[in-house]
């Protein structure tokens, strides 16, 4: 398959790309180049997926975003951006390299196996047709005896291929990774763009949180405190004239103060739960599970604390997902797994699985889009697997490092 993709598709797309770019002088390429470039990128993305599956290489996409087509001006702008994108020219160079060097590296594994099989075919009877006129490697085919030697050599070649062929395949994808991975400049550009987006997300989230706090204070505790103040004023006027009524109002004021205190505690818990500040993410996650209306089985393995913003983001993400499982998925049982891994420099991994009806989607407004924005501020990711009928599995990963010593942990840069 790699041989066909390298020599067939890569060479054909290279020729199409060169012709299309050349026709841009006549104006035709303005329309054909974006289409051909799209095919090139689809072809490159397929090779990136194979690199991840077959060789374990992660080859990110380096492409700049393109404007939508809306008139002749946008067509020219789209073509111009493609021509200014270094990834376009890196893909073009890779196509030619893949059609030559990549094809050779991909050809070695099947050729080595086929050549080994040929030795057995010679011994099976082909030697009668080719004897005295054919050499198998360094063995002249003269009769059944030399044909047997050919079979022995074929067995050796097949055995060797089992050990060296993975290296040839890996070498093919080393070329892919070297040529179509983002350059350092492209990586910095993507990083700046990501930081720009997450900064806006953080600002928007902070503004929304402030509005929520103001609304809760205005509609809850503030209203009760105002009512309590009015009751105290009335009590002051009635304490001598109507002591019985004053006692009723005192009891009402006491109840209002208790309700206001409860609402303030709930508000503080919504900003930063005390159990999270005092006991850490592990115990806070277990406390969340206990408060859920459906049974939640927890598997939490965290040895230390993490940065306060990281713990807060993870806590509220888990809270939102557990609430969705109970409220929207109609789950009967939920499994919560929280652990820390040293892979990739340190990763906090959280998985929430439920046996509900499934069909969860980040774009359906179930709160997961907000979770994704919250996690992106820490370079975290959110993955959702939720086929119709269930089960639903939500996985979160946040790059971070646990605290060392007595101080608070710091997020990994």
In the sheet that 334-341 helps form, which strands lie side by side, from edge to edge?
296-301, 334-341, 347-354, 392-399, 381-385
- Is the per-residue pLDDT at 217 higher than 70? no
φ and ψ at 341, to 5 degrees?
Answer: -125, 145
Q: What pLDDT score was predicted for residue 406? A: 39
Q: Strand 139-140 vs strand 347-354: parallel, antiparallel, or unpaired?
A: unpaired
Asked whether 353 and 335 are in contact (CB, 8 A), the reply is yes
- Is the per-residue pLDDT at 411 higher than 50? no
Q: What pLDDT score was predicted for residue 409? A: 41
Q: Strand 392-399 vs strand 381-385: parallel, antiparallel, or unpaired?
A: antiparallel
Q: For residues 339 and 355, what is the distance between their CA atoms, to the nearest angstrom? A: 21
Q: Which of 324, 317, 325, 392 is nearest to 348 (CA)?
A: 317
Within 10 A of 133 (CB to CB), how many other CB atoms are there? 8
Q: For residues 316 and 302, what is the distance between their CA atoms, to the nearest angstrom? A: 17
Mean pLDDT to the nearest integer, 168-192: 77
In sign, the C-alpha dihedral spanning 329, 334, 339, 344 is: negative
Mean pLDDT to the nearest integer, 295-305: 84
Mean pLDDT to the nearest integer, 344-350: 80
Q: What pLDDT score was predicted for residue 412? A: 40
Q: Which helix (H) or strand (E) holds 338?
A: strand 334-341
Average pLDDT of the chain to the nearest whole number: 78
Q: Sorting pLDDT into bands at 50, 70 and 90, what band is 16?
A: very high
Q: What pLDDT score was predicted for residue 39? A: 92
Q: What pLDDT score was predicted for residue 19? A: 92
Q: What pLDDT score was predicted for residue 404? A: 52
Angle between helices 222-238 and 243-271 (to 10 degrees): 160
Mean pLDDT to the nearest integer, 270-298: 79
Mean pLDDT to the nearest integer, 310-318: 83
Q: What pLDDT score was predicted for residue 73? A: 66
- Is the per-residue pLDDT at 9 higher than 70? yes
Q: What pLDDT score was predicted for residue 171? A: 86
In sign, the C-alpha dihedral spanning 108, 111, 113, 115 is: negative
Bigger pLDDT: 220 vs 314: 314
């Amino acid at each position: 398959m790699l041989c066909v993709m390298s020599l067939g598709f890569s060479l054909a797309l290279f020729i199409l790309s060169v012709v299309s770019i050349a026709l841009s002088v006549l104006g035709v390429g303005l329309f054909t180049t974006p289409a051909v470039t799209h095919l090139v990128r689809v072809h490159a993305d397929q090779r990136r997926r194979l690199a991840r599956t077959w060789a374990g290489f992660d080859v990110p996409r380096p492409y700049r975003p393109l404007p939508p087509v809306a008139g002749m001006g946008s067509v020219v702008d789209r073509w111009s951006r493609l021509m200014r994108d270094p990834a376009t020219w890196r893909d073009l160079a890779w196509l030619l390299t893949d059609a030559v060097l990549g094809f050779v590296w991909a050809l070695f594994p099947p050729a080595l196996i086929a050549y080994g099989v040929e030795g057995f075919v010679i011994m099976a009877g082909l030697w009668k047709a080719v004897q005295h006129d054919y050499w198998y490697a360094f063995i002249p085919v003269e009769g059944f005896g030399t044909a047997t030697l050919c079979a022995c050599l074929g067995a050796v070649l097949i055995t060797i291929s089992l050990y060296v062929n993975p290296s040839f395949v890996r070498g093919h994808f080393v070329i892919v990774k070297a040529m179509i991975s983002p350059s350092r400049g492209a990586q910095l550009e993507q990083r700046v763009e990501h930081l720009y987006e997450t900064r806006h997300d953080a600002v928007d989230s902070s503004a929304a949180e402030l509005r929520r706090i103001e609304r809760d204070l205005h509609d809850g505790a503030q209203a009760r405190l105002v009512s309590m103040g009015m009751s105290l004023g009335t009590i002051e006027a009635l304490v001598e004239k109507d002591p019985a009524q004053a006692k009723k109002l005192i009891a009402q004021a006491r109840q209002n103060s208790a309700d206001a205190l409860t609402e303030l505690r709930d508000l503080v818990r919504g900003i930063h739960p005390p159990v999270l500040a005092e006991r850490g993410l592990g115990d806070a996650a277990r406390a969340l599970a206990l408060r859920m209306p459906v049974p939640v089985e927890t598997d939490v393995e965290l040895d230390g604390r993490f940065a306060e913003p990281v713990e807060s983001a993870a806590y509220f993400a888990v809270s939102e997902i557990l609430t969705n499982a109970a409220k929207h998925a109609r789950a009967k049982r939920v499994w919560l797994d929280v652990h820390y891994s040293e892979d990739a420099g340190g990763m906090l991994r959280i998985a929430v699985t439920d046996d509900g009806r499934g069909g969860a989607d980040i774009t359906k407004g179930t709160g997961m889009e907000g979770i994704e924005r919250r996690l992106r501020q820490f370079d975290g990711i959110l993955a959702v697997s939720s086929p119709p009928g269930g089960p639903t599995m939500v996985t979160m990963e946040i790059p971070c490092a646990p605290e060392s010593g007595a101080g608070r942990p710091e997020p990994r840069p």
